[in-house]
């Protein structure tokens, strides 16, 4: 299992890097909005704060073509260092094969079912990213969702890995790992508590 830091704060990333416990960083539009700088600048600072590892950015452009252009532009900021989080919609899934052929790391995010996992694996996603706590609140059992996702990946013998997100306590982190998550992404406060 690998730990990722869920933050867009360069200070948080520097602290996590000092601890030597994280292999990468995940950001999202809400986290980036908390930092008073353009997203591109924040991503560069986060990459600099963590000397190695993948820094994930979530695509947000309005149209499919704009998301394709956004993906190439953002990944080009630091080639080989920035991964893409692509929200799981039918339209967005068409981007994944094209972007992975370009050599880009793609994580299909906001995965809330085994059905979505099946599609993410079929289009060649490197990661599926379920929101554990949110799934518990909306569906009743986020840990069970991780188990179902792991079962689908195993049945398909897919290379796709689970990067579980959305944790509110350490029990969820440990249980998601036991349920089959290959990686987890957590806040700095959870990381320090862990």
| Strand partners of residue 106 | 84
Beta-sheet strands, E only, within 27-175:
54-58, 82-87, 106-111, 127-130, 161-164
Span 11-60, pLDDT tens digits: 999 999 999 999 999 999 999 999 999 999 999 999 999 989 999 999 99
Indicate yes or no: pTM above 0.85. Answer: yes
Q: Which of 59, 85, 93, 175 is catalytic?
A: 85
C-alpha to C-alpha distance for 89 and 110, rounded to whole angstroms: 9
Catalytic status, residue 30: no
Rounded CA-CA distance 167/80 in Å is 27
């Amino acid at each position: 299992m690998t730990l990722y830091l869920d933050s867009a704060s360069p200070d948080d990333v520097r602290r996590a890097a000092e601890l030597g416990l994280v292999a990468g960083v995940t950001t999202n539009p809400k986290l980036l909005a908390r930092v008073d700088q353009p997203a591109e600048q924040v991503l560069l600072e986060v990459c600099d704060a963590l000397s190695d590892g993948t820094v994930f950015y979530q695509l947000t452009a309005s149209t499919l073509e704009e998301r394709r252009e956004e993906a190439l532009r953002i990944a080009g900021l630091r080639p080989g260092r920035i991964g893409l989080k692509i929200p799981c919609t039918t339209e967005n899934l068409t981007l994944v094969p094209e972007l992975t052929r370009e050599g880009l790391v793609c994580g299909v995010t906001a995965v809330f079912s085994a059905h979505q996992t099946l599609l993410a694996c079929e289009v060649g996603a490197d990661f599926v990213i379920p929101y554990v706590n949110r799934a518990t609140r909306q569906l009743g059992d986020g840990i069970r969702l991780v188990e179902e996702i792991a079962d689908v990946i195993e049945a398909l013998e897919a290379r796709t890995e689970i990067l579980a997100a959305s944790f509110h306590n350490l029990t969820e982190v440990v249980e998601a790992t036991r349920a089959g998550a290959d990686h987890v992404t957590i806040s700095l406060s959870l990381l320090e508590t862990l």
